[in-house]
Amino acid sequence: MERNVISGIRSITLGAAAIGIISVVAQAAPITILNPSFEDRNTNYNPWAFRMVTGTDSWTEDTGNVYVEYTGASLGGTQDGLNDVLFDQGAYGKFHQTLTASVDTSKTYELKWLGGTISTGTVQGGYIVRLYAGANVVASLVQNPGDLSVGTLSEKTLNYTPQPADSGLFKIEVERLGLSGPQSGSVNGYVNVDNFRMNETAVPEPASMALLGLGASALVMRRRRMA
């Protein structure tokens, strides 16, 4: 009887430790992105006139025609305001933001945003989101016309697990694509993006994973003995 009680206490202790590890490991922490939903400026008195301005919008327009647009109403998804970024039809564009966070190889990363088109007709090309670590592209996601939600914005996700050699500050880059890559000529249709969010999650250490497995095994063995 005494052995069973001690065994039960040990199983409960190990199980509780395992649950604690799961709770810690599963917690994602946000990474700061400045002006992630492009709401820093009031554009509602002229929705088409505002080119992205370096310094004012916290993002940098690299080339082309990138607009911070006032939509007048939420386009859907988890959009938290009335502004978004619009790549005008017939125009190429690219913009970016370099973050203050740098790569930590003991963590995994998740970048989310909203994307789609307000066009109701044919959209040519699409866009690509690239995630940089230092000068290197470490993850990217291409959205072709068939991937664009029409008349609304839908959530997109880019996951990144660092390699041992990865290092440097993160940079998020968004570029309009045409029929055969980066577009320098005329294309039909608009492309819209909004609400960039990025999280980091700690990867469990081998010792923590071993304890987790030990706790789970102990619970299984205890249940079998009681059966």
Q: The CATH number of the domain where 123 resides is what?
A: 2.60.120.260
Same domain for 52 and 137? yes
> How buried is residue 49: exposed, middle or buried, by Cβ count under 10 Å (0-12/13-18/19+)?
exposed
Q: What is the DSSP letter of 146?
A: G
Give the bridge partners for 68, in sequence order. Answer: 85
Same domain for 136 and 194? yes
Same domain for 88 and 167? yes
- The pTM of this model reads 0.77
Query: What is the rounded CA–CA span in Å between residue 162 and residue 50?
Result: 37
| Number of domains comprising the chain | 2
**Which domain does 215 fall in, by range?**
2-25+206-226
Mean pLDDT of the 182-205 span: 80
Same domain for 20 and 43? no
Q: Predicted confidence band at 29 (pLDDT cuts at 50, 70, 90)?
A: very high
Q: For position 9, what pLDDT does the model report?
A: 43
Q: For position 199, what pLDDT does the model report?
A: 98
Query: What is the rounded CA–CA span in Å between residue 222 and residue 57?
Result: 59
pLDDT digit string (tens) for 149-188? Answer: 888 889 999 999 999 999 999 999 999 887 555 544 556 7
**Cβ–Cβ contacts within 10 Å for residue 99, how many?**
16
Same domain for 17 and 54? no
Q: For position 12, what pLDDT does the model report?
A: 44
Same domain for 51 and 84? yes
Same domain for 37 and 144? yes
Q: Predicted confidence band at 75 (pLDDT cuts at 50, 70, 90)?
A: low
